[in-house]
Structure 1
Amino acid sequence: MQEEKKNIVTFGLENCYYAKAVIAADGTMTYETPKQYPGATELNLEVNGDLIEFEADNIIYYSSPDNKGYTGTFTAALVPDDFLVDILGEEIDDEDGVQTERSNSSSSPFALLFQFEGDAKAVRHVLYNCSANRPGIGSATGKNVNTTELSFNATPRPNDKAVKTKTKESTKPTVYDNWFTAVYEKVAEA
């Protein structure tokens, strides 16, 4: 049996998708079919949570990480109108053909799916419980292409505390190939 070749570096960002989440009364999240978020240029995730330390006997007696997920920024060419409506609660007036942002709009949690290239195999990721802030807007004279930055949090899912899942070299082909068709959930064996 041949050993799987492992990544030693990652680079590139592609295949970005979002899936609107619905939270049931018991905290269980289900997801709509993922929609593509095209034009991604950069994704940065910073750890959210501190290292908890307790001192006793003149030493650090107990130490534990406090995993509150991630705080991130996602930069792309444009925020898709579907995302602005589905996730940030903007409203479309089909009669006049306009889209309106309201100060009292309700946002929706979502899963963020994406892929990092690697030297051996692309790694696919999902962040299960994201919430986004409104993106800024701006432009400048000339033909330089602008990007839009979206700030967001990826926090533990209420029902099972899952923050993220990623593929590995050993991921089954059926799981890997279908990663962007539905938000990955472990299927219990019968």
Structure 2
Amino acid sequence: MEEKKNIVTFGLENCYYAKAVIAADGSMTYETPKRYPGATELNLEVNGDLIEFEADNIIYYSSPDNKGYTGTFSAALVPNDFLVEILGEEVDEEDGVQTEQSDASSSPFALMFQFEGDKKAVRHVLYNCSANRPGLGSATGKNVNTTELSFNATPRPGDKKVKTKTTENTKPTVYDNWFSSVYEKTMGA
């Protein structure tokens, strides 16, 4: 039975990231998703232009150029696990300090999140994200700070997937397990 459709979305919650593992053939798999707590805002802007070709004194051919998204993700704090696993910061276990290196190797990751809706929350996954290191700042007083992370979500090499989301017709087993692993269509499903 088809459920009622959302007419609006609002809110941001259930944010997770999953480190990508790239195989020799370029295919991506993902580690188990980890929670990214304290999310306050997510903004995605399309990356790519509309390609137009003029002939016969008209727009003869038009096609979108989908290069994914550029985005910002704001949260209370960037988790230390994310800084280490994704942005390549190093932890000195002996002294208990964490260091950012200028030549650190970052890792691609999947970003998973949920927007509330008037009927049912919609769950999303961006498959091939890369993030820039966050800024750092604070001010005197008890005003709570947020940290903004800039990132790109580009087509995944191999299958060119950018984003997948749930709909009102998503099977309950898929919807309920959305944050357990990065969604991949399985053969025969």
Q: Could you state the TM-score of these two structures normalised by the residue count of structure 2?
A: 0.99
Distance 2:118 2:26 in 1: 38
Distance 1:58 1:104 in 2: 52
Helix, strand or coil at the partner of 1:142: coil
Distance 1:184 1:3 in 2: 22
Helix, strand or coil at the partner of 1:151: strand
Q: Which residue of 2 aligns with 1:24?
A: 23
Q: Which residue of 2 aligns with 1:99?
A: 98
Helix, strand or coil at the partner of 1:176: helix
Q: Which residue of 1 aligns with 2:45?
A: 46
Distance 2:82 2:60 in 1: 47
Distance 1:55 1:170 in 2: 40
Once the 2 structures are TM-superposed, how far is the Cα of residue 143 of structure 1 from its aligned partner? 0.1
Once the 2 structures are TM-superposed, how far is the Cα of residue 79 of structure 1 from its aligned partner? 0.2
> Quick check: 1:168 aligned with 2:167?
yes
Q: Following TM superposition, where does structure 1 have runs of at least 4 consecutive aligned residues deviating by more than 4 angstroms?
A: none
Q: Which residue of 2 aligns with 1:124?
A: 123
> Quick check: 1:145 aligned with 2:144?
yes
Once the 2 structures are TM-superposed, how far is the Cα of residue 174 of structure 1 from its aligned partner? 0.4
Q: Which residue of 2 aligns with 1:158?
A: 157
What do the CA deviations read for 1:112-161 (whole angstroms, capped 9, x no partner)? 00000000000000000000000000000000000000000000000100
What do the CA deviations read for 1:148-179 (whole angstroms, capped 9, x no partner)? 00000000000100000000000000000000
What do the CA deviations read for 1:9-60 (whole angstroms, capped 9, x no partner)? 0000000000000111222100000000000000000000000000000000
Runs of 5+ in structure 1 lacking a partner?
none
Distance 1:165 1:36 in 2: 19
Distance 1:4 1:13 in 2: 22
Q: Could you state the TM-score of these two structures normalised by the residue count of structure 1?
A: 0.98
2:2 and 2:169 in contact (8 A); partners too: no
- The aligned length equals 189
Q: Which amino acid aligns with 1:145?
A: V
**Structure 1 vs Structure 2 CA RMSD:** 0.9
